[in-house]
Chains A and B, each alone.
Chain A
Amino acid sequence: MNGKPLVSIVSAGLSKFGKQEGLYARELFAQAVKEAFDRCPRLEPKRDIKAMFVGHMGESYEHQGHTGSTVADWAGLLNIPATRTEAACASSGAALRSGIYAVLSGLADVVLVGGVEKMTHRSTAEVTEYLAMASDYPFEQWHGITFPGLYALMATAHLHDYGTTERQMAMVAVKNHYHGNLNPKAHMQKEITVEKALSSRVVASPLKLYDCSLITDGASCVILTKPEQAGKFTDSPVHIVGSGQASDTIGLYERKSFTSLLSAKLAANTAYGMAAVKPEEVDVAEIHDCFTISEIMAYEDLGFCAAGDGGKLIESGETRLGRGIPVNTSGGLKAKGHPVGATGTAQAYEMYLQLTEQADKRQVKDARVGLTHNVGGSGATATVHIYRSAL
């Protein structure tokens, strides 16, 4: 493919992220599609959109499955084919992949891909249990290993093997809260200090409350079309030039390494190769920081630094807005929030804003190449996408 656009994003939408009292998933999704439709006046949704894929992880939250058709209805898009994709926290990364398949196959010229999760009406214990469903049941959940617990196992190994520190992990939280404070749609709109992060209560050692992403309600979507048709809908599309997805064992315990996600490395290699882009050419990235250690590991898996140097990279400040490679300008899962099924396409939404220079206070100057990294569970799924500005 060598850098040729696979598909083009012609519009994008995002609901407010946070505690959305009394709003169901389908109602949140309607907020996201409304923004995407309004941003693209040349698009006639009922005429143009031919298919839809929507990421949604858990039917337990609202006692509601069959999400594809449900949200297609609330989006005003009946009777197009609408399918839910599920890959835990990478559910809408998988929706994005599915949309690319659909456009490239020629079966649908214009596709809406998105994701949604409604979580905050449930107790922490319930959410802990639902999130754990992304991990292995017979050997992990059954033995009391929670979802934060799995990343804690990775963190313990990373701290041990590479000398990464809890302070460096806290710096990820501080940076992402700083960015989140610049994003009016972020769940958390306040900055924090390293000391505050380090003194928060332990969730699963060495992970503390401020090492964990947020329980959030939210929805996101982007609209894809063939690159040669993008001009019909917008003068400033964003091209997706690389797409990678890979799987790995559902059980963390079966893997060779606990300090790196093989699925993310494989997905990144595929995407970089397709895009003909090198890690050092990436101007802005949205990384799956479900826990602070995940962002540190992702720096390494994505080639932003060498294996083991992720802690040093956050400490250098290079991933902060205004520096070499700003990561999670939206606030990331840590401060923007992590409505699980919505996260993959919420990352694509941020790339759309950044690469069309609409990111306002958090705009990365001269951003032309972007990357998103969306991980399912403890890494049994990873998707990586690379974007190029048409400006």
Chain B
Amino acid sequence: MSTQEPFTIEQFYKFLGQRKLMAGKCTRCGKIHLPPRPLCDECFSQEFEWTEVSGKGKLLTYSIIHVAPQQFQGMAPYAVGIIKLENGIKIPGMIAGATQEQLKIGMDLTIDFGTCNTAQPWPQWPRYCFKRWSSSSKRKIRQKKGSKTEFR
């Protein structure tokens, strides 16, 4: 993996646009940073390498947002949660198409890079979300044309 790219949030989202979930790994103490950061908060090293992270994980906690800010009002109600990835890193995000009844702490989720693009000037970050994936969950998530996930 190239070490040219800066270890920043901006770069994290650039990789995300390339459908890669990337974290920075401190080459001195080994701590994995997601989001990546330019100064290790553990050992203050500035030496990192990129490491690709599995997007599979388990749901730690969740909520269905009903009262949303302007930007998200068209999508409400929508599910959000905090997911513990296989390497132990935690990451928040929306959970596509999930209802209160379908959500269970500990359920399997995987990242979905299908995203909505935003027209705003800053930031121009893509949005990931999570979807259900385990074989025990038979329900399929509704898909739009292409691979974009529909949120409701």
Tally of A-B Cβ pairs under 8 angstroms: 99
**Does A153 contact B91, Cβ atoms closer than 8 Å?**
no
**Does B66 contact A202, Cβ atoms closer than 8 Å?**
yes
**Does B67 contact A145, Cβ atoms closer than 8 Å?**
no
Interface assignment of A204: CB less than 8 Å from any CB of chain B: yes
* Residues on B with beta carbons closer than 8 Å to the beta carbon of A125: 68-70, 73
**Does B69 contact A145, Cβ atoms closer than 8 Å?**
no
**Closest residue on chain A to residue B82 by CB atoms:** A253
**Does A142 contact B94, Cβ atoms closer than 8 Å?**
no
Q: Mark A151-169, 1 if CB is under 8 A from B, else 0.
A: 0111111001000000000
Chain A nearest CB from B58 CB (Å) reads 13
**Does B66 contact A145, Cβ atoms closer than 8 Å?**
no
**Does B35 contact A139, Cβ atoms closer than 8 Å?**
yes
* Residues on A with beta carbons closer than 8 Å to the beta carbon of B77: 202
Interface assignment of A281: CB less than 8 Å from any CB of chain B: no
Q: How many residues of A contact B (CB 8 A)?
A: 36
Interface assignment of A149: CB less than 8 Å from any CB of chain B: yes
**Closest residue on chain A to residue B104 by CB atoms:** A160
**Closest residue on chain A to residue B62 by CB atoms:** A156
Chain B nearest CB from A127 CB (Å) reads 9
**Does B70 contact A258, Cβ atoms closer than 8 Å?**
no
Interface assignment of A140: CB less than 8 Å from any CB of chain B: yes
Q: Mark B8-49, 1 if CB is under 8 A from A, else 0.
A: 010001000000000000000000000100000000000000
**Does B67 contact A128, Cβ atoms closer than 8 Å?**
yes
* Residues on A with beta carbons closer than 8 Å to the beta carbon of B75: 144
* Residues on A with beta carbons closer than 8 Å to the beta carbon of B129: 143
Interface assignment of A201: CB less than 8 Å from any CB of chain B: yes
* Residues on A with beta carbons closer than 8 Å to the beta carbon of B62: 153, 156
Chain A nearest CB from B135 CB (Å) reads 24
Question: How long is the Cα–Cα vector from A140 to B94 in the complex, in angstroms?
Answer: 10
Write the residues of chain A forming the contact surface with B, with a CB cutoff of 8 angstroms.
Answer: 124-126, 128-129, 132, 138-146, 148-149, 152-157, 160, 201-207, 251-254, 258
Would you give 23 A-B contacts (Cβ < 8 Å), ordered by A?
A125-B68, A128-B68, A138-B125, A144-B75, A144-B94, A145-B80, A146-B65, A146-B69, A153-B62, A153-B63, A153-B81, A156-B61, A156-B62, A157-B60, A157-B61, A160-B61, A203-B67, A204-B64, A205-B66, A252-B82, A253-B90, A258-B60, A258-B82
Write the residues of chain B forming the contact surface with A, with a CB cutoff of 8 angstroms.
Answer: 9, 13, 35, 60-73, 75, 77-78, 80-82, 90-94, 100, 105, 123, 125, 127, 129
